[in-house]
Amino acid sequence: MATRDPIAHETTARSATRRREQRKIVAETIIGTSIEWYDFFLLASAAGLVFNHLFFEPIDPQAATLMAFATVGLSFLFRPLGAPLVSVFPCTRKDHGAVIVTQNTNRI
């Protein structure tokens, strides 16, 4: 009569749970990064097609396009620099204060 080792069974179950969690984290990271890059693609497209005429109309078209793309470049530069600034807000509460602050500042 073979007996099951409860420690080995617990370790196997723990490693299966850990693999499941890691797969979930990888999937969420891929989805989040894809959405972020799509957002920058739309922003860069709008900068080249719309923003130069909408926001920088008084200056010549070439300079307006350069200014619009400079705006995209600044947002691309400062996006990762904002992470340490927002990380000081604890996200342990149920209302997720840091997420709300980040989403609202992106809309400015």
Mean pLDDT for 8-26 is 81
pLDDT digit string, tens, across residues 52-107? 888 888 889 899 999 999 988 888 888 777 767 666 655 555 556 666 666 666 55
- Does pTM surpass 0.75? no
- How deeply is 47 buried, as exposed, middle or buried, from its count of CB atoms within 10 A (0-12, 13-18, 19+)? buried
Taking the C-alpha atoms of residue 75 and residue 69, their distance in angstroms, rounded to an integer, is 10
